[in-house]
Structure 1
Amino acid sequence: MNIYGVTGWKNSGKTHLMVRLVEEMTRRGLVVSTIKHAHHASDVDHPGRDSFRHREAGAQEVIVASPGRWALMHELRGAAEPPLAELLARLSPADLVLIEGYKREAHPKIEAHRTETGRPLIAPGNTTIRAVASNCAPGGLTVPVLDLDDTSGIADFILKEVGL
């Protein structure tokens, strides 16, 4: 399975870049899946919905299915968050899985960087970052610096890295 990550600090443009990359790569005919890591408790369900009520009643897993999509929700109920490898194993086959977040995992990544965040680059201390996509030209890096707005160029870089 080909995997590649987009990482960076909060408000660095990770999600915007991920969306643009998915659009670009699917336009090129690739099957792309994504995994998004959240540092906070997140919920894809809402109070009052039948599936929410099933989970609140104690169901370990709830599948919601419709003619347009299906979703599986799994309650951890105090258990540890599953490792990235376990989540990847649950995905259907795809040409590429793009992963947002997971700064400390071992897969290759591009760092999204915006000067407005005022945060330092992660790349100098993280060997899994293969390039920086930035809205400025930070110096002193040993990895390529790509224009954060050049979606096609970033997609080309990632696809070359994974051999697609």
Structure 2
Amino acid sequence: MTDGVPATLALPEWPALLGIAAWSGTGKTTLLEQLLPALQQRGLRVAVIKHAHHDFDVDQPGKDSHRLRQAGAAPMLVASRARIAMMLETPDREEADLAQLIEMVRPQAPDLILVEGFKAWPLPKLELYRSELGQSARAAVDPWVKAVAAKGDWQPPAGVECLNLDDLDALTAWVAAWPARWPSERGPRVEEGETR
């Protein structure tokens, strides 16, 4: 395990997982806002697991749930007719445990779990890339990148599909097809001459 990221991750047979990896400022959230309703229109039930790099709190100080969580409730679950929220303190962890988060989402029976922000984790990924940001594409060094949605002049490494970051219809079609591809795509990209 390096920096809280395991070398391997037991990927479930179902549901399909797809990481959305990109440098900050590339437009991950904006793209997801557009993709999610388009995928829903195609009949897919999609869950999202998002990593936050800082201390965050979705609860409000002074509210009963915040007070009870501060008093030691672990987890603190708040439910209404409209939504459910669960807060769980994890002070002893260096990093969020993606495997545990996947297991928390699986009972909801999504067709696909999009994982945003866990870019160093060993899971299949769609990388978003903008050459104008001046960063290098992770696809060159990350064998888990299956496709790159790029804007600007860039050529993918062998075995990596290239998509147009500005073509929402093509991106939607590629992501919508991912659950069917999942059984054969659960491992890292293999270079010619290598064996898996």
With the length of structure 2 as denominator, give the TM-score of the two structures: 0.77
In the alignment, which of 61, 67, 78 is matched to residue 47 of structure 1?
61
1:163 is paired with a residue of what secondary structure?
Answer: helix
2:175 paired with 1:161: no
- C-alpha change, 1:74 and 1:103, in structure 2 (3 Å) is same
2:104 corresponds to 1:90: yes
Q: Secondary structure at the match of 2:152?
A: coil
Which one-letter code corresponds to 1:89 in the other structure? E
Partner SS for 2:31:
helix
Matched residue SS, 1:132: strand
Distance in 2 (alpha carbons) for counterparts of 1:118 and 1:157: 26
Asked if 1:114 corresponds to 2:123, the answer is no
What is the CA RMSD across the aligned residues, in angstroms? 1.7
- Give 1:116 shift: 3.3
Return 5+ residue gaps in structure 1 as ranges: none
> Structure 1, residues 6-42: CA drift from partner, whole Å, max 9, x if none?
1011111111122222111011111111100112122
- Give the structure 1 partner of residue 184 of structure 2: none
Deviations along 1:88-132, one digit per CA (max 9) or x if unpaired, are 111121111111021122221111112332211111000111111
**Gaps spanning 5+ residues in structure 2: where?**
1-14, 182-196
Structure with the greater relative contact order (CA < 8 A, sep ≥ 6): 1 or 2? 1
Looking at structure 2, the residues matched to 104 and 155 of structure 1 have their Cα atoms a distance apart, in angstroms, of: 24
Q: Percent same amino acid at aligned positions?
A: 37
User: Within 2, Cα distance between the matches of 1:140 and 1:2?
Assistant: 24
The aligned runs of 1:55-66 (5 Å cut-off) are 55-66=69-80
* Cross-structure match for 2:161: 144
Counterpart CA distance in 2 for 1:80 and 1:138 is 35
Q: Does 1:13 align with 2:27?
A: yes
| Structure 2 residue 20 is matched with structure 1 residue 37 | no
Corresponding pairs, count: 164
Question: Normalization by structure 1: what TM-score?
Answer: 0.91
